[in-house]
Amino acid sequence: MKYSIIISTLLLSIVLFACTDDKQSVEDKSVLDNPTNQELPSGTQIEHELLFNLNFIPHEVGTSLSLIQDPQLYETWADIFQFPSVPEVDFKTEEVLFVTTYADSCDRIFEEVTKEGDTLLVKINYPKALQQKAQIACNELAVPKTFVVKMKKTGLTYGTLIEINRVLLEKQSILYEVKQ
């Protein structure tokens, strides 16, 4: 019951945020400032650490990119996503990216995260062993995948998720960042 209330509240806030005037809401957020006040050049790989590669997505969440910049929200999401432990994050200089998607039977790995213009570009791919094969046969099971990535603060508000063969899963999505 507790989880369903938290998830319902989270999803309602995401929907309400998405229905607001995006430009105005982005301009009003001081959290978008890069903490070091340095602009990252376009095409720059963002320093990151993959915290978790989970075969789980809460049933209310589909394919999405979510940027967490608040320790309390991070603790809540860690509980919802059933982390085995909660790694420390310094929210003054770091943020946590949740990438949720579905894979086929061949699985997926988190490949890289870069800054492209004003967009966070997230790439996922087949596991390295499969990438070497000329032909890959996968069945179409919908295997839930959640990648939890700790990274340096970027100040970015849009994200694009690209899968194998540059299939766009999410293009120019607003990164649902929440800071209290």
Q: How many domains does the chain have?
A: 1
**Digit-coded pLDDT (tens) for 77-100:** 999 999 999 999 999 999 999 999
In this structure, is residue 179 part of a structural domain? no
Is 50 inside a domain boundary? yes
Query: What is the DSSP secondary-structure string of 25-68?
Result: HHHT-GGGS-TT--PPPTTEEPPEEEEEEES---TT--SEEEEE
For residue 159, the enclosing domain spans 2-174
What is the spatial distance between Cα 27 and Cα 16, in angstroms, rounded to a whole number? 17
Rounded to whole angstroms, the Cα distance separating 67 from 96 reads 6
pTM across the whole model: 0.71
CA distances from 110 to 71, 87, 106 (A): 23, 18, 14
Q: Is 70 exceeded by the pLDDT of residue 40?
A: no
Position 180 in a domain:
no
Residue 92's pLDDT is 94
Cα separations in angstroms, 3 against 6, 86, 155: 5, 17, 30
- Per DSSP, what are the bridge partners of residue 143? 103
Q: At 27, is the pLDDT very low, low, confident or very high (cuts 50, 70, 90)? A: very low
Residue 20 lies in a domain: yes
The SS3 call for residue 138 is coil
Task: Give the pLDDT of residue 179.
Answer: 46
pLDDT of residue 165: 60
| Mean pLDDT, rounded, of the chain | 75
Q: Pick 9 or 173 by higher pLDDT.
A: 173
